[in-house]
Structure 1
């Protein structure tokens, strides 16, 4: 799984010999195209609800299980496993420099874009009983980073940077990935990444809402970062420089356990406009607006 093995979440391996299991699977095919399909129900109408499918039928017949994340018999690792298996996440591959100039490179799946004006991103750092992650320490000390989006052509190299090496050892060399100069920060950007974002730290927020620090317990943190420069590979950006080609970028998403997914099939679904939908021939929206 793409995470530092220095994490307090020490998980048992899913397979005794993963390479042996992997050898029985089909080879990865980087030439597979991005396929655009119809939406699940192109004839969907207002008020119809979920489509008729095995998943939908099952949801009607089955009840839900209530889970208290703070239950006395529930370990935090159980919440971790549940959340990462239920929420697909983009991966940020963060480059930083320490105060003395040592480069660091590390992947994070607690990551998201939260606004575009100004471009604002968040990276979550899980609570750790041991020393803070080098990325977090570097962000606090220098206030700078580069967020590189992970694509499938360098996912193994990105995963290698999760090794629990000392902070004096650079993950750039371990991975074999190449660094290029940035424009607004000292940390290097990833040459192999289709899309990179230079950023400045706005705030490092401790997530200590229940007094864990006073109890001697580890506390998670949230970094709020403002994007200061974008870098997009020339063959992936359109002429207007406002859209990245998915077939070139081929981003990787982290799922539960050691599972990842690449975007191979997609559909388009325009966001509805009230005026347009009311004027659309055959729309039944007006029936609901009268109620």
Structure 2
């Protein structure tokens, strides 16, 4: 199978099926009116270490604007919560389509915890949380790239027995395509060449 992007209706299945597994940003935000929102985004990654920045990219058109995007634009704050095997079902529940005045925290039975530096709450069920201020946005086609500077980090002590996050202790979940996800439990190590 070979084709140019303009020869097919959408590249979504190819991109989301080949770029796997993708980490999931479980983004909590708060509207200007004080309504907390929680939604997962699998177009997510690290941007830079200095300054520490992360990005996620939601669909954002006139017909399909996300509450998260609007909240981040209005308040310039959000929290990225890491999804694990224990929280994956709740994360899936927060992808339901709710009215803007309804909170996914209540809908999915997710526990709020007050953040240290930003207004949006973090997810208690997540062992790693990045409190972020808006660094910049960039429109890319029908999506918007949201870049956040990490202002404060929470890591469950069980994941950092020696004072640094040990990836072997983090039961992160990644997004594949369609309704498929993956665990990061099956790991291997390769030494980087000099």
Shorter-normalised TM-score: what interval?
A: over 0.9
| Aligned partner of 2:104 among 157, 171, 174 | 171
* More displaced stretch, 120-129 vs 102-111: 120-129
1:67 paired with 2:3, answer yes
1:141 paired with 2:74, answer yes
1:255 equivalent in structure 2: 176
- For 1:197 and 1:105, the matched residues in 2 are separated by 14
Unaligned segments of structure 2, at least 5 residues: none
Structure ID, larger Rg: 1
Query: Which residues in structure 2 correspond to 1:109-148 (within 5 Å)?
Result: 109-148=42-81
Query: How many residue pairs get matched?
Result: 193
Cα deviation, 1:52-81, whole Å, max 9, x if unaligned, reads xxxxxxxxxxxxx3221112xx112xx101
How far is 1:264 from its partner? Answer: 2.0
1:270 equivalent in structure 2: 191
2:19 equivalent in structure 1: 87
Query: Which residues in structure 2 correspond to 1:97-112 (within 5 Å)?
Result: 97-112=30-45
| Aligned partner of 1:242 among 164, 168, 175 | 164
3-state DSSP class of the match of 2:5? Answer: coil
How far is 1:115 from its partner? Answer: 1.4
3-state DSSP class of the match of 1:125? Answer: coil
1:190 paired with 2:112, answer no
8 Å Cα contact 2:60/2:69 also seen in 1: no
Please give the TM-score of this superposition, normalised by the length of structure 2: 0.95
* CA root-mean-square deviation: 1.3
